[in-house]
């Protein structure tokens, strides 16, 4: 992986992080009815990067991501969920809120600045910090 790049899983392939931080596409079975599944990515990233992982759940269907967010929590990483009322499809954010106690629940417009804050320590907008959950 390289800083400043965004990586997206191919259709029908799970995106995983393997030691020592290599991205891997895997055609394995569906997880939470999904392939690619956020749970697979989040769990593998938590195993490799531990407390340096930041998981983000955005708009989407079903409960994918909630189990992976718990793995990130256990690894000491950060967990962000888009406010369900702000999401086009609130099912994934709601499932994440039911299955986990994310640190932050914020509208989409505040997620980028919150990520910058968590990565660099620069000040985050008050709305992001004020929305801190658990």
Structural domains present in the chain: 14-130 (3.40.50.180)
Q: List pLDDT tens digits, range 3-43.
A: 888 899 999 999 999 999 999 999 999 998 889 999 999 99
Q: List pLDDT tens digits, range 105-133.
A: 999 999 999 999 999 987 665 554 445 55
Q: Which residues pair with 34 in a beta bridge?
A: 31
Give the whole-angstrom CA distance, residue 98 versus residue 134.
12
Residue at token pair 């008050």: 126
User: What burial letters (b/e) apply to 78-102, b meaning 16+ CB within 10 Å?
Assistant: bbbbbbbebbeebebbbbbbeebeb
Contact 36, 30 (CB under 8 A): no
Residue at token pair 């417009």: 109
Entry pTM = 0.87
Give the whole-angstrom CA distance, residue 80 versus residue 83.
9
Alpha helix (H) residue ranges in the chain: 38-49, 66-75, 91-99, 108-120, 126-130
Tokens of 82: 């888009």
Q: List pLDDT tens digits, range 80-112.
A: 999 999 999 999 999 999 977 789 999 999 999
Give the whole-angstrom CA distance, residue 111 versus residue 131.
11
């Amino acid at each position: 992986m390289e800083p400043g790049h965004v990586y997206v899983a191919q259709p029908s392939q799970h995106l995983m992080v393997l030691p020592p931080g290599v991205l891997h596409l895997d055609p394995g079975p569906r997880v939470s009815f999904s392939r690619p599944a956020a749970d697979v990515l989040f769990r593998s990233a938590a195993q490799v990067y531990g407390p340096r992982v930041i998981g983000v759940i955005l708009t989407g269907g079903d409960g994918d991501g909630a189990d992976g967010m718990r793995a990130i929590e256990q690894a000491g990483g950060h967990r962000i969920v888009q406010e369900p009322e702000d999401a086009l499809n609130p099912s994934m954010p709601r499932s994440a809120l039911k299955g986990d106690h994310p640190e932050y629940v914020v509208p989409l417009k505040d997620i980028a600045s919150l990520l910058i804050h968590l990565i660099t320590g620069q000040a985050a907008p008050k709305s992001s910090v004020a929305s801190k959950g658990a």
